[in-house]
Amino acid sequence: MKTTLFASAILVSGFLIWKYNTGQISPETKSITAAPPPVIATTPSAADNTRIQVALLLDTSNSMDGLIDQAKSRLWNIINTLTTLKYKGKTPVIEIALYEYGNDGLSRSDDYIRQVTPLTTDLDLISEKLFALHTNGGSEYCGAVITSAVKSLEWGKDEADMKLIYIAGNEPFNQGPVSYKTAAGQAISKSIFINTIYCGDKREGIATHWKDGADKGEGQYFNIDSDRKVVFIETPYDKNIEACNERINKTYIAYGASGELRKSNQVTQDKNARSLSSANSVERFVSKSKAVYKNDNWDLVDRVKQDPSVLKSISKSELPKELKEKSQAELTTLVAEKSKERESIQKEIAVLGKQRQKYIDEALKKTDKIDDLGAAINQSIIQVANAKGYTAEK
């Protein structure tokens, strides 16, 4: 339990980033030409070439149960923090990768490291895999896991891309076969910044090279109080956001071989978030209203937004049972209506989400200072963002 606030670190920044930067059927058609084609509602699209990429490297040895719980608790807050950032007025693509290290259940030949997910925009997948992590003994090799992430992940090459590694743990940073200094050099050569989170006393983290790891990686070093619990603040807006989420889930149209399974997983991840607290689930529901939450690989509404011509070529076998007998015109109308409905709900959540965040910001002013973790993480994100010309939406 020596790590309990890692993701809280990354995520309390979700509370703070706005504060510091006041600077989403009718099945019948007489003929295809009888009326203008339905307009597919759109949400702000992600900038084509600009990415914000975050790799989370989590120690899953026996002492890290608190870390995993914190990561589960703060995932959606991290995402909401990142979605406040714009580049030249556009929403960047947000990709998250997940690694575990230091677990005896992993292969010794792989230095007890596992890439749980590559960099991906599939946020439900990240949630699913995060909730499946378990702790088990282990030897923690920080240099090795950083090197693996630097070399194995598909990092962006655009100068404007933000590329961040957050590594958390509580054993000496210099353990294992790969020097953390070498790993840091590899990261910096690709403009990837390494932020280290030591679970324990600040001076102990410095003595065990966690601060030097951040210095060499041109990132920031944090230490956290592993006994501190995540603070969830409920607001008067939460129930309305929950109701919006129930409605928005009904706008998804599964397609393809894994469509129904992925749609079911969406609901499962709603439940996983809710299992920690209702306030945590609301963080997820707010994320689901953003442009970064897209599921074009299984949702027909998102797929048509990306490629309006897809309805001309989609096979009946790819459609759910209730839609197989629909004509192309009927299907086009249905998708347009669901898209318009979703856009309307997203706008509702956007308004409620801002009201909710304002309420949280005011509540935080009245609470005892937890520590400087949230502010520090906020500063690390803003530091990189400002250097690369990003702005935070109000």
> What is the domain class of 6-22+36-231+368-392 according to CATH?
alpha beta
181: CB partners within 8 A, 6+ apart: 143, 216
**pLDDT tens-digit series, residues 287-312:** 999 999 999 999 999 999 999 999 99
3-state helix, strand, coil in the chain (%, to 5): 50, 15, 35
For residue 97 the two structure tokens come to: 């990768």
- The backbone torsions φ and ψ at residue 325, rounded to the nearest 5 degrees and listed phi first, read -95, 0
pLDDT band at 70; cut points 50, 70, 90: confident
Whether the pLDDT of residue 10 is over 90: the answer is no
- Find the mean pLDDT for residues 181-188: 98
CATH 3.40.50.410 domain extents, the chain: 6-22+36-231+368-392
pLDDT band at 226 (very low <50, low <70, confident <90, very high): low
Three-state DSSP state, 343: helix
What is the pLDDT averaged over residues 139-153?
Answer: 98
Of residues 242 and 38, more confidently modeled: 242
pTM: 0.85
Residue with tokens 């149960």: 65
Task: Classify burial at 68, counting beta carbons within 10 Å of its beta carbon; exposed 0-12, middle 13-18, buried 19 or more.
Answer: buried
Cα Rg of the chain (Å, integer): 22
Burial label for 187, CB within 10 Å (0-12, 13-18, 19+), is buried
Confidence band (pLDDT; 50, 70, 90) for 37? Answer: very low
What rounded mean pLDDT belongs to the chain?
86
Span 149-174, pLDDT tens digits: 999 999 999 999 999 999 999 999 99
The pLDDT of residue 49 is above 80 = no
Q: Looking at residues 98-122, what average pLDDT do you find? A: 96
Is the pLDDT reported for residue 349 higher than 70?
Answer: yes
Average pLDDT over residues 245-267: 97
Alpha carbons 169 and 2: distance in angstroms, whole number: 8
pLDDT, position 369: 60
- pLDDT for position 205: 97
Separation CA 126–CA 98 (nearest Å): 7
As a whole-number percent, the residues of the chain with pLDDT over 90 amount to 70
Per-residue pLDDT reduced to its tens digit, 14-33: 433 333 333 333 333 322 23
Mean pLDDT of 104-117: 95
What is the amino acid identity at position 54?
A: V
Q: What is the pLDDT of residue 359?
A: 96
Residue 5: pLDDT band (50, 70, 90) is: very low
Task: Please say whether the beta carbons of 171 and 64 come within 8 A.
Answer: no
The two tokens of residue 389 are 């010309």
